[in-house]
Amino acid sequence: MSAGDSMPRFDAADEAALLEAIDRWIDRELKPIVKEYDHADRYPAHVVQQMRELGLFGATVGVEYGGLGLPATTYAQIVMRISAVWMSITGIINSHLMLALAIEKFGTPAQKTRWLPKLASGEIRGGLALTEPDAGTDLQDIRMSARRDGDHYVIDGTKTWITNGAEGACVALLVKTDPSAQPRHKGMSLFIAPKQAGFTVGKKLDKLGYKAIDTVELVFERYRVPADHLIGGAEGQGFYQVTSGLELGRINVAARGVGIADGALALATGYAQQRKTFGKPICEHQAIQLKLAEMATRARAARLLTLDAAAAFDRGVRCDLEAGMAKYFASEAALENSIESMRIHGAYGYSKEYDVERFYRDAPLTVIGEGTNEIQRVIIAKQWLKRNPIA
């Protein structure tokens, strides 16, 4: 499905077959290796190749460009399933698809023809470069500059926390083309920035969780990019292009939260039926039953909110309210379920021999990524009031 379609062209049978294939791949390829790669913080190159073969790098890219054209509702379910086992690798897909979405939704015809087929096939993998050392939630405060020089732009500055920055070949790069513009967002532009002279990968960030994938600093020094790499061909549109794409990014993070919440619940459910205290399985103790009930309810509510946001995205309507609600609630559900699962596991939950500790380390990223939950609540409130004005 392309970003402008009102409804997806994808039926229930197609979705069921695809999700079954994803489940088989998860069981066969991911579950046996996740602990090893996570603890070693090792990039899973062979898994990335498998994702390419499955078509996941073109998951939401239109079929006319070689993508799968999946509706957001199906894409979200794929992310949920993978994240219930290994959340980290869904970030590789998310960042890449946000680059593709920016081009598909706002690019010129020439940009779409040139870049989208290679992005959809995974021949070129990339990401979205927004955050800077002193600018995260407030994107309008970025300092990276681009000045016109003939038929090129010269870009200088630093980005950080960039997924696919090391292993990818290209990023969508948010810059200031007019630092003096007021309001500030009118001076921002978005470029397709392939790796070449002037584009340097800096340090890899050592993280609490979200292991095994590349999260790096990118440095641009006198980086010359052709003017035809300006997405849409007009300056001053970058902020709008990015924030529009963040709706899908937040649905992705919400789906990751659902996956973590589900995965933590599944681990707790299994352990509670095996572990015995005072002569019976701990699942028969009311204290554990209360925890499981709350965890199951949170995971279910998070799933429904996320699918609701994805359905709104598929209808082509503005869905920052729905995406914000889903991202906020699902990420908090991930955080709460992961720690409750750890508590049900007791001392074993604190051991690296058990998977629950990975969920506990991965969950905090979801409350920060694609806009902190503090800013999500502000967005939700503003959009709620806008949709419900006093008579």
Transcribe 292-308 into DSSP letters: HHHHHHHHHHHHHHHHH
Which residue in the block uniquely carries the two structure tokens 């999946």? Answer: 70
Instruction: Note the Cα 189 to chain centre separation in Å.
Output: 22
Distances (CA, A) of 105 to 127, 240, 246, 247: 16, 11, 12, 13
Secondary structure element (H or E) that encloses residue 182, with its range:
none
Could you say which of 123, 353, 370, 374 is catalytic? 370
Which residue in the block uniquely carries the two structure tokens 């506990």? Answer: 360
Q: What are phi and psi of 271, to 5 degrees?
A: -65, -40
Q: Are 359 and 260 in contact (CB under 8 A)?
A: yes
| HSE-up of residue 386 (Cα within 13 Å, Cβ side) | 10
- Specify the amino acid at residue 100: A
CA 303/CA 291 separation, integer angstroms: 18
The token pair at 300 is 């279910």
CA 216/CA 186 separation, integer angstroms: 28
| HSE-up of residue 33 (Cα within 13 Å, Cβ side) | 17
Q: Are 60 and 251 in contact (CB under 8 A)?
A: no
Residue 370 annotated in active site: yes
- Among 92, 65, 102, 119, smallest CA distance to 252 is for 92
Q: Which residues are tagged catalytic? A: 370
